[in-house]
Structure 1
Protein backbone atom coordinates (compact mmCIF):
# COMPACT_ATOMS: atom_id res chain seq x y z
CA UNK A 1 0.00 0.00 0.00
CA UNK A 2 2.77 2.44 0.83
CA UNK A 3 4.38 1.88 -2.55
CA UNK A 4 1.14 2.71 -4.35
CA UNK A 5 0.47 5.82 -2.33
CA UNK A 6 4.04 7.07 -2.39
CA UNK A 7 4.75 6.40 -6.05
CA UNK A 8 1.78 8.14 -7.71
CA UNK A 9 2.90 11.76 -7.17
CA UNK A 10 6.49 10.94 -8.04
CA UNK A 11 5.50 9.22 -11.27
CA UNK A 12 3.34 12.16 -12.30
CA UNK A 13 6.14 14.60 -11.47
CA UNK A 14 8.59 12.57 -13.57
CA UNK A 15 6.22 12.79 -16.51
CA UNK A 16 6.03 16.55 -16.08
CA UNK A 17 2.39 16.48 -15.02
CA UNK A 18 1.46 18.66 -12.07
CA UNK A 19 -0.32 16.85 -9.27
CA UNK A 20 -2.71 18.90 -7.21
CA UNK A 21 -2.92 18.12 -3.49
CA UNK A 22 -6.71 17.73 -3.71
CA UNK A 23 -6.32 15.23 -6.57
CA UNK A 24 -3.76 13.25 -4.56
CA UNK A 25 -6.08 13.23 -1.57
CA UNK A 26 -8.94 11.85 -3.69
CA UNK A 27 -6.69 9.14 -5.11
CA UNK A 28 -5.47 8.19 -1.66
CA UNK A 29 -9.01 8.15 -0.30
CA UNK A 30 -10.17 5.96 -3.19
CA UNK A 31 -7.27 3.58 -2.61
CA UNK A 32 -7.99 3.46 1.10
CA UNK A 33 -11.68 2.79 0.51
CA UNK A 34 -10.91 -0.10 -1.84
CA UNK A 35 -8.51 -1.62 0.69
CA UNK A 36 -11.06 -1.37 3.50
CA UNK A 37 -13.73 -2.89 1.23
CA UNK A 38 -11.45 -5.83 0.40
CA UNK A 39 -10.79 -6.38 4.10
CA UNK A 40 -14.52 -6.43 4.78
CA UNK A 41 -15.13 -8.96 2.03
CA UNK A 42 -12.39 -11.24 3.35
CA UNK A 43 -13.73 -11.01 6.91
CA UNK A 44 -17.27 -11.79 5.75
CA UNK A 45 -16.11 -14.66 3.51
CA UNK A 46 -14.10 -16.27 6.31
CA UNK A 47 -16.98 -15.90 8.76
CA UNK A 48 -19.38 -17.55 6.26
CA UNK A 49 -16.87 -20.32 5.59
CA UNK A 50 -16.59 -20.95 9.33
CA UNK A 51 -20.36 -21.09 9.70
CA UNK A 52 -20.62 -23.47 6.75
CA UNK A 53 -17.97 -25.76 8.20
CA UNK A 54 -19.87 -25.90 11.51
CA UNK A 55 -23.44 -26.14 10.22
CA UNK A 56 -23.00 -28.10 6.98
CA UNK A 57 -19.57 -29.76 6.88
CA UNK A 58 -20.62 -31.86 3.88
CA UNK A 59 -20.73 -28.64 1.80
CA UNK A 60 -17.01 -28.16 2.37
CA UNK A 61 -16.40 -31.41 0.50
CA UNK A 62 -18.74 -30.25 -2.26
CA UNK A 63 -16.69 -27.12 -2.90
CA UNK A 64 -13.48 -29.16 -3.03
CA UNK A 65 -11.75 -28.06 0.16
CA UNK A 66 -10.25 -30.16 2.91
CA UNK A 67 -10.88 -29.51 6.60
CA UNK A 68 -7.27 -28.40 6.96
CA UNK A 69 -7.62 -25.87 4.12
CA UNK A 70 -10.78 -24.46 5.69
CA UNK A 71 -9.13 -24.12 9.10
CA UNK A 72 -6.10 -22.40 7.55
CA UNK A 73 -8.33 -19.93 5.67
CA UNK A 74 -10.43 -19.15 8.75
CA UNK A 75 -7.30 -18.56 10.85
CA UNK A 76 -5.93 -15.87 8.51
CA UNK A 77 -6.25 -12.27 9.63
CA UNK A 78 -8.49 -10.09 7.44
CA UNK A 79 -5.57 -8.20 5.92
CA UNK A 80 -4.00 -11.37 4.47
CA UNK A 81 -5.08 -12.79 1.14
Structure 2
Protein backbone atom coordinates (compact mmCIF):
# COMPACT_ATOMS: atom_id res chain seq x y z
CA UNK A 1 0.00 0.00 0.00
CA UNK A 2 1.28 3.46 -0.90
CA UNK A 3 1.30 6.03 1.95
CA UNK A 4 2.37 8.99 -0.14
CA UNK A 5 -0.79 11.00 0.62
CA UNK A 6 -0.65 10.20 4.32
CA UNK A 7 2.81 11.72 4.67
CA UNK A 8 2.16 14.78 2.51
CA UNK A 9 2.16 18.10 4.38
CA UNK A 10 -1.05 20.08 4.63
CA UNK A 11 -1.75 21.99 1.43
CA UNK A 12 -3.72 25.22 0.96
CA UNK A 13 -7.01 25.20 -0.92
CA UNK A 14 -5.17 25.89 -4.15
CA UNK A 15 -2.03 23.82 -4.63
CA UNK A 16 -0.05 26.74 -6.06
CA UNK A 17 -0.74 28.90 -2.98
CA UNK A 18 1.76 28.43 -0.17
CA UNK A 19 0.26 27.64 3.23
CA UNK A 20 1.66 30.85 4.75
CA UNK A 21 0.05 32.99 2.08
CA UNK A 22 -3.32 31.34 2.66
CA UNK A 23 -3.05 32.09 6.38
CA UNK A 24 -2.24 35.74 5.65
CA UNK A 25 -5.22 35.96 3.30
CA UNK A 26 -7.50 34.51 5.98
CA UNK A 27 -6.21 37.02 8.54
CA UNK A 28 -6.79 39.89 6.14
CA UNK A 29 -10.30 38.67 5.42
CA UNK A 30 -10.99 38.38 9.15
CA UNK A 31 -9.65 41.90 9.70
CA UNK A 32 -11.85 43.21 6.91
CA UNK A 33 -14.91 41.49 8.37
CA UNK A 34 -14.13 42.94 11.82
CA UNK A 35 -13.73 46.43 10.34
CA UNK A 36 -17.06 46.21 8.53
CA UNK A 37 -18.76 44.91 11.67
CA UNK A 38 -17.34 47.85 13.65
CA UNK A 39 -18.59 50.32 11.03
CA UNK A 40 -22.05 48.78 11.20
CA UNK A 41 -22.08 48.96 14.99
CA UNK A 42 -21.07 52.62 14.94
CA UNK A 43 -23.70 53.45 12.33
CA UNK A 44 -26.37 51.65 14.30
CA UNK A 45 -25.34 53.47 17.51
CA UNK A 46 -25.46 56.84 15.75
CA UNK A 47 -28.81 56.06 14.18
CA UNK A 48 -30.23 55.03 17.59
CA UNK A 49 -28.72 58.16 19.14
CA UNK A 50 -30.42 60.32 16.52
CA UNK A 51 -33.77 58.66 17.13
CA UNK A 52 -33.33 58.95 20.89
CA UNK A 53 -32.48 62.66 20.65
CA UNK A 54 -35.66 63.28 18.67
CA UNK A 55 -38.07 61.07 20.61
CA UNK A 56 -36.71 61.18 24.17
CA UNK A 57 -34.10 63.94 24.57
CA UNK A 58 -34.06 63.50 28.35
CA UNK A 59 -32.43 60.07 27.86
CA UNK A 60 -29.31 61.74 26.42
CA UNK A 61 -28.46 63.02 29.91
CA UNK A 62 -28.99 59.53 31.32
CA UNK A 63 -26.30 58.02 29.09
CA UNK A 64 -23.85 60.78 30.02
CA UNK A 65 -23.59 62.70 26.76
CA UNK A 66 -24.06 66.39 26.09
CA UNK A 67 -26.26 67.70 23.30
CA UNK A 68 -23.14 68.84 21.44
CA UNK A 69 -21.57 65.35 21.61
CA UNK A 70 -24.78 63.85 20.27
CA UNK A 71 -24.88 66.31 17.40
CA UNK A 72 -21.24 65.54 16.55
CA UNK A 73 -21.98 61.81 16.47
CA UNK A 74 -25.11 62.29 14.37
CA UNK A 75 -23.08 64.40 11.92
CA UNK A 76 -20.91 61.31 11.26
CA UNK A 77 -23.87 59.47 9.76
CA UNK A 78 -23.97 59.22 5.96
CA UNK A 79 -25.91 62.12 4.45
CA UNK A 80 -28.82 59.90 3.42
CA UNK A 81 -29.40 58.83 7.04
CA UNK A 82 -29.28 62.30 8.66
TM-score over 0.5 (shorter chain):
yes
Structure 2 gaps of 5+ residues are 1-17
The answer to whether structure 1 residue 39 and structure 2 residue 55 are counterparts is no
* Structure-2 separation of matches of 1:57 and 1:76: 19
Q: Give 1 or 2: higher helix fraction.
A: 1
Larger radius of gyration: 2
Query: Could you list the runs of 4 or more consecutive aligned residues of structure 1 that deviate by over 3 angstroms after TM superposition?
Result: none
Partner of 2:30: 30
**How many aligned positions are there?**
61
Task: Show structure 1 runs of 5+ residues with no match.
Answer: 1-17
- Report the Cα distance in structure 2 between the residues aligned to 1:77 and 1:23, rounded to whole angstroms: 35
Alignment root-mean-square deviation, CA:
1.9
* Length-normalised TM-score, structure 1: 0.68
Q: Report the TM-score when normalising by structure 2.
A: 0.67
